[in-house]
């Protein structure tokens, strides 16, 4: 990967961290966290948790959700073929399962907003009831 691609990826990581931060969930790029000796994750970004007396239930809920996902980010110029999205989420799934987390692939195409791909069955299994996932295979 060339310098331009690395810079583009790092810029996207900062952009996504900024979006989460606007929600009140502090996120940090793992490249900077690893340099500071704070993270041992293979995820691209990780949530930091700072509980304050001002936290309302919505903020606490978002913070809890952010911690349950293994965040991988991809920045692309053009549309992904559907087979490539499936391959990417499968790769993220392997890393997420090693850590007991739900895979979350965040990507952005040129001139588009960032999007998150989540495996619905895993989200429902973690936050719902097992009977909700019957037939999702």
pLDDT single digits (tens) 107-125: 998 888 998 888 888 888 8
**Among residues of the chain, what percentage have pLDDT more than 90?**
20
- Tokens in use for 51? 């509980």
Place of tokens 């790092």: 10
* Residue with more model confidence, 130 or 56: 56
Report domain extents, the chain: 3-133
E strand spans, the chain: 27-29, 45-47, 69-76, 102-109, 115-117
C-alpha span between 9 and 7 (Å, rounded): 5
pLDDT of 14 over the 90 cut: yes
Mean pLDDT of 36-45: 64
| DSSP helix/strand/coil, 25 | coil
For residue 137, what pLDDT is reported?
Answer: 59
Nearest CA to 92 among 106, 109, 108, 112?
A: 106
- Residue 34's pLDDT is 46
- What CATH fold (topology level) applies to the domain 3-133? Trna Endonuclease; Chain: A, domain 1 (3.40.1350)
pTM of this structure: 0.73
Do the Cβ atoms of 104 and 70 come closer than 8 Å?
Answer: yes
Phi-psi region of 95 (alpha: psi -120 to 50; beta: other; left: phi over 0): alpha
Closest Cα to residue 92, out of 83, 103, 76?
A: 103
Please say if the pLDDT value at position 18 is more than 60.
yes
Are 76 and 108 spatial neighbours (Cβ–Cβ below 8 Å)? yes
**Strand locations in 2-130 (E):** 27-29, 45-47, 69-76, 102-109, 115-117
């Amino acid at each position: 990967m060339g310098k331009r691609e690395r810079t583009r990826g790092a810029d996207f990581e900062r952009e996504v961290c900024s979006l989460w931060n606007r929600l009140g969930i502090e996120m940090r790029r793992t490249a900077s966290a690893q340099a500071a000796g704070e993270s041992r994750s293979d995820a691209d970004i990780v949530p930091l948790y700072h509980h304050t007396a001002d936290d309302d239930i919505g903020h606490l809920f978002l913070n809890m959700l952010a911690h349950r996902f293994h965040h991988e980010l991809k920045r692309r110029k053009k549309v992904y073929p559907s087979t490539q999205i499936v391959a990417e989420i499968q790769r993220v799934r392997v890393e997420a399962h090693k850590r007991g987390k739900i895979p979350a692939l965040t990507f952005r195409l040129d001139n588009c907003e960032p999007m998150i791909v989540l495996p619905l069955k895993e989200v429902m299994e973690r936050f719902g009831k097992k009977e909700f996932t019957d037939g999702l295979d």
